[in-house]
Chains A and B, each alone.
Chain A
Amino acid sequence: MATDHLSTIFAALADPTRRAILAQLAGGAATVKELSAPFAMSGPAVSKHLRVLERAGLIARGREAQWRPRRLEAAPLKEVAEWAESYRQFWDESYERLDEYLHHLQEKERTDDHGN
């Protein structure tokens, strides 16, 4: 897991406005003006959020130079979802191994006791 890359995505996602922007983009590409509409926020403030999302690779700009609509990039989101899943898996599988290891330790203790 490349955590430095993930942490950039993670930092970008740790803001409710940016998550709302992403959710809006899930409905289709949108311009800055369209994206600003639901927020009590100036265009430049929204653009600042968009830059953070863009740097994290979560959104991309369309080719139409006039409009420059933003669209959602799925890959980094998938990466985060996979990380969250692997975090849960990490602990479940570690606990499983801990349980087995504890059995092994207790077994060893018993054998050592008999030996003495």
Chain B
Amino acid sequence: MTTATKIGATTFTTPSDREVVMTREVDAPRELVFDAWTKPEHVQQWMLGPSGWTMPVCEIDLRPGGAWRFVWGRADGTEMEMRGEYQEVTPPERLVSTESWGGDWPETINTVTLSEEDGKTTITQTVLYPSRDARDAALETGMKDGVSQSFDRLAEHVRTMA
């Protein structure tokens, strides 16, 4: 079953057991969007999440088998790093890469597809987890199947027990 969640202008769906799909439309032709996604000088300008983060390191070797590494930093010294390898590079429509946060974090396979209509581009980003359990743990939906409790409700419940 697919449930769509809308956060801001981004739609999140879970079309299969192992996937999370994010969809977003931007007002630009897809050649430009592909460049923005694959050239460090562009990536460092926008792939920053909430305000307060910068991306001091952005390494992209854009070819199948090529590595990428992004390091984000905050003024208080907090850092986070993500890395992976490109598997498929088809400008301006498709980009497939692995993504890892390190440690026990499960490596995912991310597919970005760009489709253009009337000068606007729809970005579809699919994150494929190695297992349903890994995806559910990552997206905190694990408690919903069979045991039917979200982490939030669990946490809330524990507070009332204390």
- Give the B-binding residues of A (Cβ under 8 A): 1, 3-4, 6-8, 10-11, 13-16, 19-20, 22-23, 26, 28, 71-74, 77-78, 80-81, 84, 86-103, 105-106
The majority secondary structure among interface residues of chain A is helix
Cβ of B27 within 8 Å of any chain A Cβ, yes or no, is yes
A94 and B46 contacting across the interface, CB-CB below 8 Å? yes
CB neighbours of B157 from chain A (8 A): 26
Partner pick for B154 among A14, A72, A94, A100, CB 8 A cutoff:
A72
Give the CA-CA distance A16 to B110 in the complex, in Å.
24
Cβ of B57 within 8 Å of any chain A Cβ, yes or no, is no
Q: Which of A80, A86, A102 has the most B CB atoms < 10 Å from its CB?
A: A102
Partner pick for A77 among B103, B123, B146, B154, CB 8 A cutoff:
B154
| Contact A102 to B154, CB < 8 A, known contacts A1-B80, A20-B146, A80-B140 | no
CB neighbours of B142 from chain A (8 A): 13, 16, 19
CB neighbours of B4 from chain A (8 A): none
Partner pick for B102 among A4, A13, A81, A102, CB 8 A cutoff:
A4
Interface residues of B in 111-162 (CB under 8 A from A): 123, 125, 131, 133-134, 136-140, 142-143, 146-155, 157-159, 161
In the complex, 19 of the A-B residue pairs with CB atoms within 8 angstroms, ordered by the A residue number, are A3-B105, A10-B137, A11-B104, A14-B106, A14-B137, A74-B155, A74-B159, A78-B152, A84-B138, A84-B139, A89-B7, A90-B50, A95-B10, A96-B8, A97-B47, A98-B47, A102-B28, A102-B32, A106-B28
